Amino acid sequence: MLVDSHCHLDYLERDGQDLDAVVERARDAGVETLVTISTKLSGFPQVLAIAERYDNVYCTVGVHPHEAEAEPDVTSEQLVELAQHEKVIGIGETGLDYFYEHSPRELQQRSFLAHIEAARQTQLPLIVHTRDADDDTVSMLQAEYQKGAFPGVIHCFSSTQELAEKSVEIGFMISLSGIVTFKKAEEIRDTVRALPVESLIVETDSPYLAPIPHRGKKNEPAFVAHTANCVAELKGMDPENFARASSENFYRLFGKARATL
């Protein structure tokens, strides 16, 4: 059985998708657990309501770097309090995005630090979004880790092998999306080949980044199976064995989800 460690079911619902059907298709594809991700505190109640609706759906709490200017006052105390709910199993997504820069870098960094502190206090995984910001992402994670350990994952990995390796060094996992199946993603596939299986999990980031053979269509959790099969091939593993390994990695990282099984 597989896990979609990062999807946006609230976006799918916003776009008119029947979530009952989406969750059922995921089950039919062997995807047993879904994590729907918070991108802003103002939208968190809807994200939590979706997680409460399904026994196999969990959620996170956080503010995406794109939203750091719109929601600049997020504090670690707020995040810690909201994370007490049994369905909240992670902090984020958070991080740095210097590609779009929808929010000023200073505000992104301030928000990132608040999320890191919340992850440190709760020991729930930090879900990190990073794009064109490798140096600052690594330096901030390393500096903060020295102040006290916290678990985490680099979500939707699409960066350099150096970022992946330095993240793994502090115990982070690397989450792979449909990007790994894209024709022009050979550098990412090379990085995946070099990483230990114990550090890999999979996601869709749906409704975005549908993997081949669904590229160009609206992504959904069921499609994580295609990403997992691609990664299994890269690692020279039987698909069932990789599915088992990646799911075990997920539950090791997201221990709060395991506790409710």
Distances from the Cα of 27 to the Cα of 8, 30, 31, 191, 220, angstroms: 17, 5, 5, 30, 12
- Going by the annotation, the residues of the binding site are 6, 8, 93, 129, 155, 205
Domain ranges of the chain: 2-259
According to the model, what pLDDT value does residue 177 have?
Answer: 98
> Which residues are within 8 A (CB) of 247 and not within 5 positions of it... i.e. 6 or more apart?
1, 2, 3, 32, 33
Q: Is the separation of the CB atoms in 176 and 200 below 8 Å?
A: yes
Cβ burial 192-220 (10 Å sphere, 16+ → b, else e): beebebebbbbbbbbbebbbeebeeeebb
**Using CA atoms, how far apart are residues 188 and 224, in angstroms rounded to an integer?**
17
Residues written for the chain: 261
- Going by the annotation, the residues of the binding site for a divalent metal cation are 6, 8, 93, 129, 155, 205
Q: Is the separation of the CB atoms in 182 and 208 below 8 Å?
A: no
CATH of 2-259, one of 3.40.50.2300, 3.20.20.140, 3.40.309.10, 3.40.50.970: 3.20.20.140
According to the model, what pLDDT value does residue 258 have?
Answer: 81
According to the model, what pLDDT value does residue 152 have?
Answer: 98
Backbone angles phi, psi at 75, to 5 degrees: -120, 160
Please give the chain's pLDDT, 261 residues, in tens. 999 999 999 999 999 999 999 999 999 999 999 999 999 999 999 999 999 999 999 999 999 999 999 999 999 999 999 999 999 999 999 999 999 999 999 999 999 999 999 999 999 999 999 999 999 999 999 999 999 999 999 999 999 999 999 999 999 999 999 999 999 999 999 999 999 999 999 999 999 999 999 999 999 999 999 999 999 999 999 999 999 999 999 999 999 998 665
Q: Give the single-character DSSP code of 237.
A: -
